Chains A and B, each alone.
Chain A
Amino acid sequence: MPEPILELAGLTKVYPGGLRALDNVDLTIRKGEIFALLGPNGAGKTTLIGAVCGLVTPSSGSIRAFGHDLSGDWRQARKRIGLVPQELATDMFEPVRRAVAFSRGLFGLPPNPARIEEILRSLSLWDKRDERIMALSGGMKRRVLIAKALAHEPDLLFLDEPTAGVDVELRKGMWQLIDQMRARGVTVILTTHYIEEAEEMADRVGVIRNGRLLMVDEKSAMMARLGRTEAHITLAEPLAAIPPALAQFPIEIEQGGLGLCYRGGDGTGKGKEEVAALTKALTFAGIDYTGIDVRESSLEDIFVSVLGEDAVPHETTSESEPV
């Protein structure tokens, strides 16, 4: 297993007023991975990031980054951590390039115009380099914040909802950027409401709710463990009972005998194979059918099953299929 880059142990944050935003969170992030933190509004995602980045004082628990304990040796760790906040907060009067150069200097690095140019170009901001930030669109402003976070070449990057308010094309661009980060060996921790996004990019996914980390797993393992294939087969003639020849399949009769429903598999494609076998068995048994609808469950379905239906943020249900 690659070395841990960030280790949270028993991390708890109780805000003044008593709200428990983080509840005994244990989490280890490995070097070079892309980790997606998923959870509904108010789950504690931003608080978790804030605790690591020095914006939130933890109530208890410990944070180690790059082997440094943050309560003591925070400077060494902070130098290597970048943060793109959820809110668009930056000096709006400042020109883009100067804002990015400032961030680099703030982290104690010598000026490097070539590196700044490279970052601005990779974010398609080079043409806007001398523009005041307030004259940019929302998506561009967000990219300026990303450029600022990359200016000191961090090894660990936090992206708090990097694609909120970003159009489809830019979102794809963001994914590419994260791929570039991955290629450079940068560890990325991102939060998102778009499950599609976690599914697309993350190596591992953590699901958080009410400050508790409910589940952390490899994306593929999570999908294998909780993933399902669902197939609906429309029959030509109604069926009264499942014939013994098909008893080996996990199927049920639906629509008063006019349909068969298959639920099985494990998210690795095994379900599809089984559906194919099922159709052959149907033909062999002389049962005619007029349609098949096969669907693999997505991370979103898993999310729903872990959190319960009402927990899925609106963005995901209404925008899970953009374009």
Chain B
Amino acid sequence: MHFSVRSAWSIFIREIMRALRTVFQSIIAPVLTTSLYFIVFGAAIGARMPDLGGVDYGAFIIPGLLMLTLLGETTSNASFGIYMPRFTGTIYELLSAPVGVGETLAGFVGAAAVKSLILAAIILLTARLFVDYSIAHPVLAVIYIVLVAASFSLFGFILGVWADNFEKLGIIPLLFLTPLTFLGGTFYSIDMLPEPWDTIALFNPIVYLVSGLRWTFYGSADVDIWISFAITLGFLATCIAIIATIFKTGWRLRA
């Protein structure tokens, strides 16, 4: 299989440059939203909440909050990254170049993932201002965040290829991602839910993501960490397979 590092690097750098144009907004937005969540949930409500699994409520919501912002931002970043060239026609250059699925993914998805990691770091630093927390398994936490960022960059890429108008581009995050994340144990532990909702919640894939990240932070979570890892990897593999098929058939890319 061919892979041109130069081609992939060119795409990657260009995507990063594109992000730098709106760097102020990219930093200020997560700092602001994270702060708001901590003021409302951490300070105002959290003060009246009992510890959850031995973790202070303010600290408990950090992984969920991180996941909430990460999933939304990563998906929209990656989907715009490929949707805009299709929309404006600049994709001609990519299609006419000697680059395949490998370089394209490394460039676009790599850049989206890197942006997400920076975003995660900003959120964690902002959280520090409000809550004192420590991370039980920092290496696993980083690996987990990288995996999630990569998976949702791929997911966003698929979304950006599938969407043929701006409405479709926005509707998936709005109708599926945000509700599932909110219902996925971001601000609560799913065993706080009454029957049958705690069982139903287990059909929500985001539950496993939030729970997995929470485990790397505090060493305990709703579901087993390995199940979380397996589901994340499964999602990643599915996205890669879909994208490989898209490139092979040229679906929505070539006329």
Q: A residues near B, CB below 8 A?
A: 15, 47, 50, 53-57, 74-76, 78-79, 81, 83, 85, 87, 89-91, 93, 98, 102-103, 105-110, 148
Contact = CB atoms under 8 A, between A and B. Distances in A.
B3 to A, nearest CB: 10
A54 B100 CA distance: 11
A15 B2 CA distance: 30
Contact of B255 (A55, A81, A83, A102): A55
Contacts of B90: 89-91
A74 B100 CA distance: 10
Contacts of A98: 17
A53 B98 CA distance: 10
Interface string B1-34: 0101011011101100110010000000000000
Interface in B79-122: 88-90, 92-100
B137 interface: no
A55 B97 CA distance: 10
Interface of B: 2, 4, 6-7, 9-11, 13-14, 17-18, 21, 88-90, 92-100, 250, 254-255
A76 B6 CA distance: 15
Given A74-B98, A75-B98, A106 B93 contact: yes
Nearest to A103: B93
Contacts of B9: 105
Interface of B is mostly: helix
A78 B89 contact: no
8 contacts: A15-B255, A56-B254, A57-B250, A85-B92, A87-B89, A105-B6, A106-B99, A108-B7
B100 A75 contact: yes
A181 to B, nearest CB: 18
Contacts of B6: 105, 108-110
A53 B88 contact: no
Contacts of B11: 106
A55 B255 CA distance: 6
B98 A79 contact: yes
B253 to A, nearest CB: 9
Contact of A53 (B17, B89, B95): B95
Contacts of B97: 78, 106-107
B255 A93 contact: no
Contacts of A148: 93
B85 to A, nearest CB: 8
